[in-house]
Structure 1
Amino acid sequence: MPSYEEDLSEFERRDAQVLGISTDQVFTNEAWAKSMGGLSFPLLSDHWPHGYVAALYGVLRGESGQCERAIFVVDKQGKVAYVDIHDIGEQPPTDRIMQALDRIQQGAGAGANAPH
């Protein structure tokens, strides 16, 4: 998550909002963000009901109650446009996320100019 802090201007340029979400409690998220020197984007708690959102997205590890390390890019209509689920110890590649955001913008631009 801290690496996304470095790329916030690129996310903003693509009209994207970065959010972090975990099954940890709010105070745990706050302490973790503080230990990282603070973050400029929201960290959300999916603690109660435990892992509800993670389960809906198919990334809740049933045996541990933790989330998979996953990235979802959701367009403004609420459609999931990109999914990256990978090993908990790996950092997701930011370039693929940016490519997904670029595709969304290109699609929106094409739709805006299409005849009605």
Structure 2
Amino acid sequence: MSVLVGKKAPVFKTNAVINGNEIVENFSLKQYLGKKYVVFFFYPADFTFVCPTELIAFQEQISEFEKRDVAVVGASTDSAFSHWKWLQTEQNDGGIKGVKYPIVADQTLMISKNYDVLAGDFDYDDEGNDIFEGAPQAYRGLFLIDKEGVVRHQVVNDMPLGRSIEEALRVVDALQFTEEYGEVCPANWKKGKGGLKATQEGIADYLSKNH
């Protein structure tokens, strides 16, 4: 798997559904450059089982992300129309109605491939014909992108393993803390706790106060 941390996030333009009901063309994360952090996450497919719990959970916490100047953007290899249909379906019928953040359509599979979360891959058969082996779906990848467009955190789960939205918020808090104070965040750091200076003395001081 590619490690994108420290690198510019792969760019793209594609269809997406925004505001829960509007299909737009040429959606790009570049609109957030210099303005917002981005939590960009992939999920396997619309109209499934674990996926709606994640997308709804992100929406339930959207005000917390907005307080932190973070845009949340989802993506799967489904079409924009499939996204739109799912967004019109009531939650008690397996839908995600009420989700308002953008959901990207990656029908070409190239966005998932460039972020290296595609479960399958392109190949050739014995006659030289293009084939696709594996699942044309994305693993549960999540990427925290800073205002300069650089990936600062990534995590990828297998398809059955749902993610923690609280952990996504914690990592946002940690990044913003280090940017503001110039200190690093130790194990299990949470917002409201102090950091430590990246020196031997700083580590010793932290350990003496916390152990």
Tell me the TM-score normalised to structure 1 length: 0.85
| Distance (whole Å) between structure 1 residues aligned to residue 150 and residue 178 of structure 2 | 13
Q: Select the residue among 102, 120, 136 that pairs with 1:65.
A: 136
Which among 48, 51, 71 is matched to residue 17 of structure 1? 71
Runs (4+) off by over 6 Å: none
The range that moved more, 11-20 or 77-86, is 77-86
Aligned length: 109
Please provide the CA RMSD for this pair.
Answer: 1.4
Among 111, 118, 123, the alignment partner of 1:53 is: 111
Higher helix share: 1
- Paired with 1:96 and 1:16, the residues of 2 have a C-alpha distance of 14
1:104 to partner: Cα distance: 2.0
Q: How high is the sequence identity, in percent, across the aligned residues?
A: 29
Output the amino acid matched with 1:52. Answer: M
Q: Which residue number in structure 2 is paired with residue 94 of structure 1?
A: 165
Which one of the candidate residues 61, 64, 72 is aligned to 1:7?
61
1:82-115 deviation per Cα after TM superposition (whole angstroms, max 9, x unaligned): 212113233211122112111221233236xxxx
Structure 2: which amino acid aligns with 1:34?
A: Q
Compare relative contact order (CA 8 Å, sep 6+) and give the higher one, 1 or 2. Answer: 2
Q: Could you tell me which residue of structure 1 aligns to residue 126 of structure 2? A: none
Find the aligned partners of 1:57 and 1:107 in 2 and give their Cα distance: 25
Q: What is the TM-score when the length of structure 2 is the normalising length?
A: 0.49
Alignment partners' CA distance in 2, 1:51 and 1:103: 32
**Structure 1: how far apart are the matches of 2:87 and 2:141?**
18
Query: Structure 2: where are the runs of 5+ without partners?
Result: 1-54, 90-95, 121-133, 183-211
Residue 114 of structure 1 corresponds to: none
